[in-house]
Structures are given as C-alpha cells and as structure tokens.
Amino acid sequence: MLARDFVRNNIEALKTMLAQRSMADQVDLEAFTQVEEERRTILKELEHLRHLKNDASQEIARSKKEKRDADHLITEMKKVGEEIRSMEDRLRDVESSLESLELTLPNLFHASIPIGPDSTYNRIERSWGEPADFPFPPRPHWEIGETLGILDFPRASKISGARFAVLMGAGARLERALINYFLDRNTSRGYREVLPPFMVNRDSCTGTGQLPKFESDLFKIEGWDYFLVPTAEIPVTNLHREEVLSADQLPLAYCAYTPCFRSEAGSYGKDTRGLIRQHQFNKVELVRFSRPEVSYDELEKLTGHAEALLQELNLPYRVVTLASGDLGFSSAKTYDLEVWLPSQDTYREISSCSNFEDFQARRARIRYKDPDTGKNEFVHTLNGSGLAVGRTLVAILETYQQADGTVLIPEALHPYMGGVEIIEPA
C-alpha cells in the first residue's frame, strides 16, 4: 500500500507509473480523487458540528449553573448529535471505499529497473555455467520421468485432474531430498526455519498483496474465509503482522517449506505437459525483514543465496531484472533466476527475488522502532524462492540425463538420496 498523502499529491506521476506497469486501465485514480475529496469535506463538516456541540454543551452547563432555561439548547444539541452520528456513518463508508481503492494500487518501482511493457524488456544481468552439449537430442523431463517410472501423470489426472503429478520411487525421494537440502543449506546461511500453516486468512493475503486483486488465482476453502497458500511468502511475512520490532532484531531471515496451490488462472494452454505449471507444487521460500536504508543490500544477499543453491547443484542459470511491465504487483524490484532446460533450449524461471520496500509492511502494519528518532517506522520486506522444488527436479532430470535413459544425481544430493547416485528404470 502506498501512503495516502503520497497518492493524493502525486496523481499525475502515478498515472505515468501505471502506464509503465501496463496497468493504466486497472486502477481508477479519478475515483480515488473524488472519494478523497468527499472524505475531506466530511471531516471539515464533522469538525464544525463537533465545535457546535462543544459550544452548546458549555452553554448548557452555564445555563444550569445560572438556573436559566436550557431546554432549547438541549434540543439543538440532540439534533447536532444526530447529525454527527450520521456524518460518522458516512465517513466510515467513505473510508472503506477509499481503502478499497488504495488496495488496487501497485507498488512504485525502483529507479534501476528497465522501463518496458512486457518481458521482452527484461535485462539480463549475468549468467553462470555452460549449458551441456548433448551428443543426443535431449528429452523433456516428462518423457524421462515416465520412462524411468518416477512420474505418473495419467494416475494423477485420475485422482485429481489436469495439472497434477504423482512422483514415485526415486522421483519422490529426489523431491524430498531437494526440500531437505534447500532447508539445510538455507539455515546454514542464517535463515531460521519455519513450518507455517498451509491455510491462511483473508487479512494475511491482503497484507502481502494477493488480495483483493488476485483472488481468482487462489484456491479458497468453501464455507470458510481461508485460502490454500500459493507461496510461503504469505504466512511467513504475516508472522509479524501488526507488530513493532526492535531495530536490533533486524534483519530477520526465515526460510520455510510449504506445498503451494495455484489456480493458474489465465494460463490455459501454457506448459500443459510436465511439472512446470502445476496446481500443486513444493517450494522453499526465503523471507527477510530489513531496515529501509539497507534493503537493497539485503536483496543482493538474498539473490546470492538462491544462486548458490543452483551453483551447488551445477545447474546453469542466468539472472534477469524484470522490466516495469513484467513486475509483480507488490514488488519494487525483482530479479528472476532462470535455469537452463535442455529440452526447451531456453531458460525458465526457477526463483523470483524481490524487494517490496514498505509496500507490504504498510498493508500488514509491520514496523520497527527507529533508535535515532524513537518513532515507529515501516520495515522493508523481501522474499525469494530458495528454490522451487518441482522446477529444480525438472532441471536435474533434463541436465543430468544420459544417453541410456538414466539420470545422474548431483553430487551435493548424494547424502540426501541414501547413497543413490543414478536413477535407473524401476
């Protein structure tokens, strides 16, 4: 959420920002201006009425002291009191409307990101590793997994429907190994492990920016105002909702494994085969809370931690800064880590590392006490995947595939696979 005073005083600049974010038709700034003006008018009228009531109360007190008739003043004060209550009801409605409009506004973006309407304007920052030169046509992960007997999509479809998978045998073991490996490596770098609830309430989703804009992307529990988590970002960020942290607690760093549930609304026809775009997948998330002045140093640190995992698994990747039109609703700046997939001959996203500055903290009221001023200030929140487990499994199957159909296990995972170093047909 943006500060109300900032929105009020920067309407034209916000119109430019929304156009650069490709969101000009999604936010009604004119409505905000009208509702804010109505709010200010009501506040002025309330101030006037309360002043009249206060004057009348004082006059009634004097009349009673001097034994003068005050009935007409009492009647007048009751009328003013009724007007005040009516105006207060109107103010609550206007405040609710104004807050609803504020929640539709995306974050401002950082000056360092490229300006452009879509992902073609994203900027490649660096690459790591060399994609393998296979002496045979590399096969896609779903074909590898089905041949090895470790991926079963038909049975998953029978159980649940499209965009689900069953992992079996060494495939299930590899998924579990990756979860444990990511948690171990991230905690060794100073992140505190959290196992949060996998269902969250509406306030939590609103605090991190998923609601109200992205409700259609979430799985809602029928009959309850709960949502299945689309990412651990939501429960972990909301650990400190409506709290005031001390400055010496910062930065705070958490990592959490959760299954993630997404409707994939609007993605029909995209990645219909395989594990890339599923309704349910596993992920280990990194979340950091920072003082504002060092949050971009924290972003580089968090991104480096996610990169280290790919390097340890020897998976080639690149780092991309998202352009304004490709940036997430709540983010001020995002680095996408894209891993190389041999079968597609391209890089695909495996982690997004973002700085939200104080956007989420304002919505969730997460503050810290500034020791220099003694005032409560909003923290900056950051998060990134460390990593998306299913997509990492995809990258391993494709990168480590062999001509005979087997798949080698990255050395770093050997201890997590019970000594298994190669996946062979079941």
Are the C-beta atoms of residues 79 and 73 closer than 8 Å to each other? no
Cα separation, 380 vs 358, whole angstroms: 5
Using CB atoms within 10 Å of the CB of residue 139, give its burial: 0 to 12 exposed, 13 to 18 middle, 19+ buried.
Answer: middle
Cα gap 395→385, rounded to integer Å: 15
Tell whether the torsion through CA atoms of 386, 392, 393 and 399 is positive or negative. Answer: negative
List 277, 291, 318, 348, catalytic entry:
277
81-100 exposure pattern, b = at least 16 Cβ within 10 A, e = fewer:
eebbeebeebbeebeebbee
Contact (Cβ atoms closer than 8 angstroms) between residue 231 and residue 285 = yes
Catalytic residue among 163, 262, 362, 363: 262
Residue 290, both tokens: 């920072």
230: cis peptide before it, omega within 30°?
A: no
Catalytic residue among 295, 352, 354, 385: 352
- Is 163 catalytic? The answer is no
Residue of 38, 76, 264, 349 marked catalytic:
349
Which of 173, 185, 288, 391 is labelled catalytic? 391
Distance separating the N- and C-terminal Cα atoms of the chain: 52
Pairing of the two strands 380-388 and 280-290: antiparallel
For the question of residue 367 being annotated catalytic, the response is no
Q: Are strands 367-369 and 346-355 parallel, antiparallel or unpaired?
A: unpaired
* Separation CA 186–CA 307 (nearest Å): 11
DSSP reduced 3-state for 200: strand
Instruction: Based on the residue annotation, tell me whether 363 is a catalytic residue of this protein.
Output: no
Which residue type, as a one-letter code, is found at position 202?
A: R
User: Does 365 qualify as catalytic in the annotation?
Assistant: no
- CB neighbours of residue 363 within 10 Å: 23
For 220-228, which contacts have Cβ atoms below 8 Å and span 24 or more sequence positions? 225/201, 226/199, 226/200, 226/201, 227/199, 227/200, 227/201, 227/202, 228/198, 228/199, 228/261
Which three-class secondary structure state does DSSP give residue 273? coil
CA distance 248 to 46: 42
Which residue, among 196, 233, 197, has the nearest Cα to 214 in the 3D structure? Answer: 233
Dihedral angle computed from the Cα positions of residues 130, 133, 138 and 144, in that order, rounded to the nearest 10 degrees: -60
391 is catalytic: yes
Q: Which residues are catalytic?
A: 262, 277, 349, 352, 391
